[in-house]
A and B are shown apart, each in its own frame.
Chain A
Amino acid sequence: MIKKQWLQDLKAIPFLLPFFVAYMIFTIFPIFKGLEMSLYDWTLVRKIEFVGLENYVNMFTDQHFWRTLWNTTFFVILTTPTMVLLALGLALLSNLNTKLKIFFRGSFFIPSILSVSVISFLMIFMLQPYNGLVNNVIQMIGIDAEPKWMADQGLAWVTIVVVTLWWTVGFNMILFLAALQDIPESLYEASEIDGASRWDMFRYITLPQLIPIGRVVLLLQILASYKVFAQILLITGGGPGGATRPLIQYIYEVGFNQNNLGYAATMSYALFFILLILSIIQLKNQRSGEN
């Protein structure tokens, strides 16, 4: 029996090995490599010297680090509640009893399968002052204004948030929509017999039934928003004056423009722990939703 056990182990190895190797090299090993790098003065070309915790000390006193971490957090605060509400609203529209609902669902979802480069440059061209489509439409309906969507600090945030909502809401909408369609019809039938109004049904049946998926969407959104980078880099470049620059962009600039991979790895660790804690909460939440 014992002899057979190692034979069984041997048979499993060819099945497990390809995944295991790729996983070890590209997912697990970089975590430890990052720890090593964060303890060194390390350039794009080579590691220079061991500096102990100096990078970490620098990080805690680096105002750019705190500023960009705040910008990222601000983005999370702005996008999370709006995303959940918009996703819910669009799911309700896509669940209406009409033949158009396929068109609704497709329209809400298609932006989210497009590349970040496509949606960013689409928006840059649409939002240009003087001859951009959006400003021209605004003027066509009689409002005499020329908003600078990417150059004004407040408007730059509005632009980033609205573009992100438009681009990524489809995914969350599908999650809500699936949950909506899973609500047992008998609940509505019973309440109808009891004389409940449509609003009552929504308030006392639909909404409570959507709370578990709502929690999932909320946490997924926080997690995804902390990783924000590409659309901000491409649309505002982090501007005006660094007002919208997120942490990942700063990490990139320190690593690749300032040639300081050691410090970039240190800040990546800070991000790593924020995201790790959030995803542990997320997985726990999802697990408890299942049981």
Chain B
Amino acid sequence: MSDPQFSNEAAVRVKKNKSTVLQRNRDPKLGLKVTLGFIVALIFISPIIWMLFVSIKPNGFSTTQPLEWFLPPYTLYNYVDIMFGSLIFRWLFNSLIVAVITTVLTLIITSLAAFAISQMKFRFKNFIFIFFLLGLMIPGEATIIPLYEVAKSFGLIDTYAGLILPMIASPLGVIILKSFFDNVPKEVIESAIIDGCSYFKLFYKIVLPLAKPALSAIGIFTFIGSWNNFLWPYLSILSETLYTLPVGLPVFNSTYSQAYVQPMTANAIASIPVIIAFLLFEKQIVKGISFTGIKG
């Protein structure tokens, strides 16, 4: 779980793959396997491709001929219509605001705590670290009913703050960042302290920049987790204008049972940002998963 040198490991991996190409004999059944892989990959991605094609069909389009879904005419009118003619744009905005603030706050508080545990000397340090570790074992789904009461007593039900604050104390983030901070060379830290650097300066000028890979992995997972979070917003938000997309979409989609175009356009609007995020940050996401081994 805590291997702080995954970036090095990844570099070694790349080299290894190159040597594989050169040295191992060609697999005689490779063509067959690639064909199989291609078919399976196509099956996996086809619902998403279908969703995107339906979203650009003219309003009211329906067919029982599967291939016709993918043929022109195309239009982007549905996107305009839904963005301005429904609450989807508002929900998109809510999801974005909540995900961005959740990510920023998570990164701030987990890196501060991880820095203290990794670099500072204070009493009960081990006890506090183990206490934070315990959080890994507490399943949020099973404490969500009392969490509702707790949030209610703080006036957090039906607010942005209520969507954000309960999600930011990520023990996994502290653990990952601590193991990263532990690996900052001792000489760097010592010489900074001799130069009269304060702990805070040491934190944000020296240690934090070195932990960029870990910060980006945690940031991406927090963002995607928040963007897709369903159960907590479903419980804690009552006003339609404060819904996030995952809570709003079922409400929107349930009003259509036979029309395909509007629901699929709404789905596409909710998916395109994360798909773009995936394509941009694929490497960090893949590394982040194999690094943590724990769902985000």
Contact = CB atoms under 8 A, between A and B. Distances in A.
B50 A280 contact: no
B64 A261 contact: no
Interface in A111-140: 111, 113-118, 120-126, 130-131, 133, 136-137, 139-140
Contact of B64 (A11, A116, A125, A136): A136
Given A22-B109, A108-B44, A272-B143, A283 B136 contact: yes
B150 A107 contact: no
Interface in B28-85: 29-30, 33-34, 36-38, 40-42, 44-45, 47-48, 50-51, 62-66, 69
B127 interface: no
A107 B44 contact: yes
A121 B271 contact: no
B289 A8 contact: no
A280 B137 contact: yes
Given A113-B274, A181-B13, A118 B249 contact: yes
Contact of A9 (B62, B122, B230): B122
Nearest to A270: B142
A100 B146 contact: no
Chain B, interface SS category? helix
Interface stretch (B17-25, B183-191, B208-216): B17-25
Given A93-B33, A271-B139, 12 more contacts: A15-B112, A22-B168, A23-B171, A37-B149, A97-B27, A106-B279, A107-B42, A109-B278, A114-B270, A140-B66, A269-B142, A283-B136
The 7 closest A-B pairs by CB, nearest first: A178-B290, A15-B116, A34-B146, A272-B142, A19-B113, A107-B41, A93-B37
24 contacts: A9-B122, A16-B112, A18-B112, A19-B132, A30-B146, A34-B146, A96-B30, A98-B34, A100-B38, A104-B40, A104-B41, A107-B42, A108-B40, A114-B48, A114-B270, A115-B274, A121-B253, A125-B264, A271-B142, A275-B142, A279-B137, A283-B136, A286-B293, A290-B1
